[in-house]
């Protein structure tokens, strides 16, 4: 099973100094910053490919804002996706690229904002390995609609979305075949129930697709996804591969694979680093909560409270810096845990008085999982990787999570490990010379 990381312009600045919290003033973001596959370039594969959405690159019309600048848009169309992301001649070997429309960005529209020719032109110019057909997401999951013998319970607009998706897929496939385009076409099945997904899947196979994605499943619960896959399995031809759009569900990956899933994509491992309340740092055995040490300068909530007179700037800044200093000393073996936790608790009472995160901080500091990890991020950042503090730390922690996810994926699916063996853990026993 292959893992594709969706592009959301996640880069890190290699010039960032974590001690001084400064960066090269002449740094140009896309030119100088690194993607995950560059951070792990010399260490080991952490993904099989990238998924890039036309909606992210170019937007969906006047009402939307593309995440790419006009210069970046022109460059990716001129140079191609692999040159743009610096994937060529990578030590890992081939890194494949999928192109899609980004249907969730226009889910509220009556029809997709792109024509089939628009999308095909985008895929060809960007030189993708795979291209998804134009689709329209069905947001309702209502298996009970199928209990009506005549199907009248299915709202007309929902059925129309499925029919439109199949019509566009047929046009997409026919044009692809007629012009002998080089990328592999992928149809997308949309449905509101296991039976309707299976029906759409069978229709796409009849058109000619042998690589089919199941779309609109991000909001579904795992049992619902499994029900759809089991229904699809009854109509799937042996040679037809399945892609799950935006879905991982790690505990069930082996079952997914047994039902024909050949590839998945998701930003969940990366996003959990800074969007989840608890599971911010992943290991092969468990997850940890990152330690909150928010920046005083640049944190709009803290700055607003300081301007209002609620907080004293000097006291707040002193508490922040004491946390950073004691965490560094602890990681170097020069500070006892109790004094670190005290500093964190004192600062926590300032920046987040309604939450007590002492126990989660104790767990991660006692275990110091970054000392046991062989990934490039942990080896470079050390304890900084566990700090919930600014994009440079948070995004690198997300890259670490992606690496761990991929390692677990390969192990579960019987593939060789992608990362080097972890080093022996550093001792976390207090030294006699430790400060109180």
Give the active site residues: 100, 265
CA triplet 21, 24, 29: central angle to 5 degrees? 105
CA triplet 377, 379, 404: central angle to 5 degrees? 50
d(CA 195, CA 229): 10
- The token pair at 118 is 């628009």
403, 273 in Cβ contact below 8 A?
A: no
d(CA 391, CA 140): 35
d(CA 84, CA 143): 43
**Beta strands at 281-282 and 287-288: parallel, antiparallel or unpaired:** antiparallel
State the burial class of residue 150 (Cβ atoms within 10 Å of its Cβ: 0-12, 13-18, 19+).
exposed
Sign of CA dihedral 144, 150, 151, 152: negative
101, 132 in Cβ contact below 8 A?
A: yes
d(CA 388, CA 395): 10
d(CA 161, CA 135): 8
Q: How many CA atoms lie within 13 A of 71 on its CB side?
A: 2
Report in angstroms the alpha-carbon separations of 134 from 81, 91, 171: 19, 33, 9
C-alpha 357 chain-centroid distance: 26
DSSP labels for 193-225? SHHHHHHHHHHHHHHT-SEEEEPS-TTS-HHHH
d(CA 392, CA 122): 32
Residue carrying the six token digits 């299915």:
154
d(CA 257, CA 314): 56
d(CA 43, CA 419): 7
d(CA 150, CA 184): 37
């Amino acid at each position: 099973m292959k893992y594709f990381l969706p592009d959301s312009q996640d880069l890190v600045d290699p010039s960032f100094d974590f001690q001084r919290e400064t960066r090269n003033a002449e740094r140009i973001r896309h030119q100088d910053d690194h993607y995950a596959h560059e951070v792990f370039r010399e260490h080991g594969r952490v993904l099989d490919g990238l998924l890039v959405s036309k909606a992210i690159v170019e937007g969906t019309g006047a009402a939307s804002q593309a995440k790419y600048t006009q210069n970046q848009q022109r460059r990716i169309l001129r140079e191609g996706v692999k040159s743009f992301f610096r994937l060529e001649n990578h030590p890992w070997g081939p890194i494949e690229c999928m192109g899609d429309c980004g249907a969730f960005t226009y889910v509220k529209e009556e029809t997709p904002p792109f024509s089939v020719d628009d999308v095909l032109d985008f895929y060809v110019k960007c030189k993708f390995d795979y291209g998804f057909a134009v689709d329209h997401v069905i947001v309702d999951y209502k298996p009970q609609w199928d209990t009506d013998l005549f199907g009248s319970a299915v709202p007309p607009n929902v059925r129309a979305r499925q029919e439109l998706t199949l019509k566009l897929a047929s046009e997409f496939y026919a044009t692809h075949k007629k012009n002998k385009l080089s990328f592999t076409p992928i149809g997308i099945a949309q449905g509101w129930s296991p039976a309707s997904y299976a029906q759409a899947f069978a229709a796409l196979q009849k058109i000619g697709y042998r690589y089919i994605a199941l779309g609109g499943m991000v909001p579904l619960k795992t049992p619902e996804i499994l029900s759809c896959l089991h229904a699809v399995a009854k109509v799937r031809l042996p040679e037809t591969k399945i892609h799950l759009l935006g879905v991982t569900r790690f505990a069930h990956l082996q079952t997914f694979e047994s039902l024909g899933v050949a590839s998945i994509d998701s930003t969940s491992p990366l996003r959990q680093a800074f969007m989840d309340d608890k599971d911010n740092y992943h290991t092969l055995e468990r997850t940890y909560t990152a330690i909150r040490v928010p920046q005083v300068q640049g944190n709009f909530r803290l700055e607003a409270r300081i301007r209002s007179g609620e907080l004293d700037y000097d006291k707040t800044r002193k508490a922040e810096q004491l946390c950073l200093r004691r965490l560094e000393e602890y990681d170097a073996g020069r500070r006892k845990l109790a004094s670190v936790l005290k500093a964190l608790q004192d600062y926590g009472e300032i920046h987040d008085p309604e939450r007590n995160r002492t126990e989660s901080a104790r767990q991660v500091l006692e275990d110091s999982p970054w000392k046991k990890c062989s990934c490039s991020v942990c080896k470079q950042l050390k304890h900084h990787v566990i700090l919930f503090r600014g994009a440079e730390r948070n995004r690198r922690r997300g890259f670490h999570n992606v690496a761990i996810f991929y390692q677990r994926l390969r192990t579960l699916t019987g593939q060789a490990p992608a990362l080097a063996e972890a080093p022996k853990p550093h001792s976390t026993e207090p030294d006699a010379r430790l400060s109180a």
